[in-house]
Structure 1
Amino acid sequence: MLIAFSIKNWKSFRDEVSFTVEASKERNHSGTVSKFNKFGLNLLPVTGIFGPNASGKSNFVKTLSFLQNLIVDPGRNFMSSEPDGFRLDPATKSEPTEFAVDLMLQNGIYSYAILFSQKKILEEKLSFQHTRTEKILFERKGERLTIGEPLKKDVSEDAIKFLTPFLLKNYPALNLLGAANIGKVVSVFNWFSNSLKIIRSDSPFISRLETEETSVEERLYGLGTGICSIKALPFSRPLSQNVERLAQSISEDSSMVIMDPQEGAIRISNTSSAGIKAEKLFALHKNCRGEEELFSFTDESAGTKRLFNLINTLDKSNSSGDPFTFVIDDIDRSLHTKLTSSLIYQFIDGCDELSRKQLIFTANDVQLIDEDLLRRDEFWICDRAFDGSTTLYPVTDFKGLGAKRDLQRSYLQGRFGGLPNLTASCTILNESYLYD
């Protein structure tokens, strides 16, 4: 599980911001909190980030996505030719960027940090804590890699020499050692490659998680889409270049669903016996006579397609014991408030102190700021400062919140910040209409 994530000098994040899912002393919904008694850690299963447009919410998700891609697939060269730092301040524009992640995985706490500038990784460090003593697994300065005591039996001097050319090409040491299944490093690498699932607002509709179709059908129907079932038919036409590229990335004996703008939902499967197979998914509705009608997903609403994507994701998390961490940008996009809150509630309903799954989302829908849905420490505010930089802080930073205070009302009244900074000419709604 993710414990904490910090960002410094990346896109709209100029000053260091630190995000954490450690639970406070809040008692509301205490039965959903994941407990790690050995480490004295209580971690929240859900965290929502709210704030105005252009405040940096999507940049937060993009940051995690960039780090994931850099670690899992460095060969694609995700380093930018443009400055990565905060561009609205000449002093920071070309300064290094720093990310740090704390993870609770299996048998201990892992801390990973990386410092890089334009096209060059400068520093990298991974440490592990099983008891009160922190042990360094590896440290990197430029292309020089130093192996910590716990890994010295697994990584020889000859191996380090072999890795040096890849370090010069900006391959993270976490990738090189993790992909080679070296000691405890592989646990962190696997979290980035397998357990971290990110759905960005600008990503194509892709579900890499396989869910039982009957479960998806039942939930789509129960959420008022009118879809009775989903039917797959062979797809014989040539795949688009984008779909073909994604199909080539499917590992053997797995599948994914891709939403193609022209064709609709295409399921691509890769089996050892048949190789790559494509099927087109149709939504089955019933007409006024009770007869079946097939609809391409191109004919379905944006909200239905969004639900199909999220249900595949969140259903997998509820039916599996695997410790997935889902990060969803604009979870409320194209969805009615009640649908969004229902998805979040159903995720939480499968959480208890032994659960090891997480949902981190960004949203604009203030109706989701509801203490019947989430705990107070599960609400974070993303805001844009006067200089254009992003700030990120939890609602619990604000003192004097009484037991009966309405958080949604307090947010709309500006108590927590994170509201659109409208000019007088754009302010068309009277404050009394908004708040009373």
Structure 2
Amino acid sequence: MVSEEKLMLIDFKIENNLSFKESTTFTMQTGARLVKFNDTHILKNDNVNLLKNAMIFGANGSGKTNLFTSLDQFKRLLLTLGDAKQTSKNIVTNPFRMQYENKNKPTKFDITLLLKKKIYNYCIEFNEEQIILEKLLEIKKNKESILFERIYQHEDEYKYEINSNRIDKKLQNFTRKNNLFLSVLASFNNKIALEIMDWFQNKLVLIRDDSMEFERDPLAAKLLDTKFKEEVLNILKIADFNIEDIKVTKRIVKADPQFFKLMEEVSKQIGGSLLTEVIIHEITLIYNNYDNEGRVVGSSEIGLLEDSKGTIKMLYIAAIIVDSFNEGRTILLDEFDTAFHLAICEFLIALFNSKRNMNNQFILITHELELLDCELRVDQIWFAQKNYKNETELYSLFDFNDLNNRKRSDVSYAKKYIKGQFGAKPVIDLLSAKNYFLNTDLNLNLFEGSELNE
């Protein structure tokens, strides 16, 4: 069943956060006048057309991952700065640190979302002491109407503008300088605030290799459902993972008494809740055994953590895909190509952009240059690079106007990228590299015919 009520990211702007010094925009809106793959790669809506998938390329250290980290930071701020009793805690900030003056400048996050056929823009500016500006707009036919706006004046006082037909004005009295008004509204069950908070909490999903403790994830429990498991297995088999079955065993792990006592004190200090037990769904993968003539003669069971990193990652991604098909999620996949063969990456990208996916957005970070030549639109391809000031610049292949008018489909973007035509690639100091090699015991014959010997 395809959801008619889309919940999606339109665009996200960052300023003075991590490696983003100047205002930087990432958008999932389609490029003007592009018609390629309109029937498959686009999520069409009455008021805005959005991409199902975007790919971000760039050199190591270019700041690609900082886009995801900024979105995750925005999410954490919304989920933690709603406590009206909070009086002394500083707001966590990560300003651009390569220029000293930026340390005292505010950070700005600005996001535009499509939520159930309505478009909302939410913006905050803050430093570690207070919220300086917070604003929520509804956008109808390119016209903006303010639902609320709060601007810091002086001595903990704020100037408020509130649409009283949509928001209870009295709730501003529950909002301190280091609280978010939107979070306070959600705690008082304001419908709009709850929808925005729900998108951040349940629809924005960040997948990193270092966070994939799949057996502790609630998603693992869904493999107990036969239909869910069969769909996951189907994706795995298409991708040439020869897994015949998945066995799941629920186990409850109680906290060690000594550890529990220690964590109880920590929990009191940070004001968080304490888990006395953890539910783990232990996963076992079942493979067929074959004789020399290719006949099945039995099976072997391998614990998930004993299998390869690529298998664990693919299982997790397959489960996310199946769980999200009818949910309307924005899924961020960092280091997408790590531990995967190129063919598997290409299969997943084709799946993300297929008619099978009519509700979700998949934003991927990758180093695999050959993926530039997948069946993608130019507005789906993004690059990140750092300038000489160590500031991350983010731009789309759509920004290269000479490519937008091309009718040929055989242009290799990968070759153009390697030649440096789109930037966003490391520039190796060949002279310094050659001198470095000359001062080692390396066999210089290794570099015969390379640029280093020219």
The SS at the match of 1:66 is helix
Q: Which residue does the alignment assign to 2:333?
A: 328
Q: Which amino acid aligns with 1:335?
A: F
Of 229, 246, 254, the residue aligned with 1:213 is 229
Alpha-carbon contact 1:52-1:418 (below 8 Å) kept: yes
Change (3 A) 1:237 1:200: closer
Contact in 2 for aligned 1:84/1:117 (Cα 8 Å):
no
Aligned pair partner of 1:44 in 37, 46, 51: 51
Q: Post-superposition shift, 1:230?
A: 0.8
Distance 1:56 1:406 in 2: 25
For 1:264, the equivalent position in structure 2 comes to none
Q: CA offsets, 1:30-87, max 9 Å, x none?
A: 11212233x3x2211111110011000111100000101111233697833xx62111
Cα shift at 1:313: 1.2
The answer to whether the aligner puts 1:231 opposite 2:247 as a matched pair is yes
1:382 corresponds to: 384
C-alpha separation between the residues in 2 aligned to 1:367 and 1:55?
Answer: 19
Asked if structure 1 preserves the Cα contact closer than 8 Å seen for 2:186 and 2:193, the reply is yes
Aligned to 1:189: 197
Aligned to 2:64: 57
Counterparts of 1:145 and 1:324 in 2: how far apart (Å)? 35
Larger Rg: 2
Q: Does structure 1 residue 35 correspond to structure 2 residue 44? A: yes
Q: Note if contact 2:243-2:286 (Cα within 8 Å) is conserved in structure 1.
A: yes
Corresponding residue to 2:181 among 173, 186, 190: 173
Question: Per-residue deviation at 1:286?
Answer: 2.2
Counterpart amino acid of residue 146 in structure 1: Y
Counterpart residue type for residue 232 of structure 2: V
Q: In 2, Cα distance between the equivalents of 1:179 and 1:113?
A: 19
Q: Structure 1 pair 133/395, CA: closer, same or farther in 2 (3 Å)?
A: closer
Aligned residue for 1:12, secondary structure, equals coil
2:183 and 2:78 map into 1 onto residues whose CA distance is 5
Distance 1:363 1:179, change over 3 A: farther
Helix, strand or coil at the partner of 1:193: helix
Q: Which moved more, 1:3-12 or 1:186-195?
A: 186-195
Whether 1:160 aligns to 2:162 is: no
SS in 2 for 1:369: helix
1: CA distance, partners of 2:250 / 2:122: 45
Change (3 A) 1:234 1:379: closer
Counterpart code for 1:376: V
What residue in structure 2 maps to residue 100 of structure 1? 110
Name the CA distance, whole Å, in 2 between partners of 1:53 and 1:123: 34
Shift of 1:153: 6.0
Residues 392 and 293 of structure 1, relative CA distance in 2, 3 Å threshold: same
Matched with 1:252 is none
Kindly indicate whether the alpha-carbon contact (under 8 Å) linking 1:115 and 1:121 is maintained by their aligned counterparts in 2: yes
Name the structure 2 match of 1:260.
Answer: none
Distance 1:16 1:293, change over 3 A: same
2:400 is matched with 398
Q: Which residue matches 1:357? A: 360
Rate the CA distance shift 1:113–1:309 in 2: closer, same or farther, 3 A.
Answer: same
Contact residue 78 and residue 180 of structure 2 kept, 8 A: yes
Q: Secondary structure at the match of 2:49?
A: strand
Confirm or deny: 8 A CA contact 2:253 2:280 kept in the other structure: no
Asked whether 1:113 is paired with 2:119, we answer: no
Structure 1, gaps ≥5 residues long? 246-267, 269-274
Answering whether residue 423 of structure 2 is matched by residue 417 of structure 1, we say yes
Q: CA deviation at 1:131?
A: 4.5
C-alpha displacement at 1:129, in angstroms?
2.0
TM-score under structure 2 length normalisation: 0.78
Q: Using the TM superposition, give the Cα deviation of residue 338 of structure 1 relative to its aligned residue in structure 2, in angstroms.
A: 1.0
Q: How far 1:208 moved relative to its partner?
A: 4.3
Instruction: Rate the CA distance shift 1:391–1:276 in 2: closer, same or farther, 3 A.
Output: closer
RMSD of aligned residue pairs (Cα, Å): 2.9
Identity over the aligned pairs, expressed in percent?
A: 26
Query: Following the alignment from structure 1 to structure 2, what is the Cα–Cα distance between the partners of residues 118 and 414?
Result: 39
CA displacement at 1:20 relative to structure 2: 1.0
How far apart are the structure 1 equivalents of 2:206 and 2:320? 10
Alpha-carbon distance in 2 for matches of 1:42, 1:309: 29
Look up the equivalent residue of 2:364 and give its one-letter code.
F
Once residues 331 and 447 of structure 2 are traced to their aligned partners in structure 1, the CA distance between those partners, rounded to angstroms, is 36
Secondary structure in structure 2 of the residue aligned to 1:178 = helix
- Contact 1:233/1:279 (8 A) holds in 2: yes
Q: Cα–Cα, structure 1 residues 304 and 57, in superposed 2: closer, same or farther, change >3 Å?
A: same
**Which residue number in structure 1 is paired with residue 437 of structure 2?**
none
Note the alpha carbon deviations across 1:69-109, whole angstroms, 9 max, x for none: 111233697833xx621111112132111111111111321
Structure 1 CA distance, aligned partners of 2:449 and 2:161?
A: 60
SS at match of 1:291: strand
Of 27, 36, 45, 1:20 maps to 27
Residue 10 of structure 2 aligns to a residue whose secondary structure is strand
2:147, 2:167 within 8 Å by CA — same for their partners in 1?
Answer: no
Distance in 2 between residues matched to 1:234 and 1:316, nearest whole Å: 19
Distance in 2 of aligned mates of 1:291 and 1:78: 60
User: Displacement of 1:180 after TM fit?
Assistant: 2.7
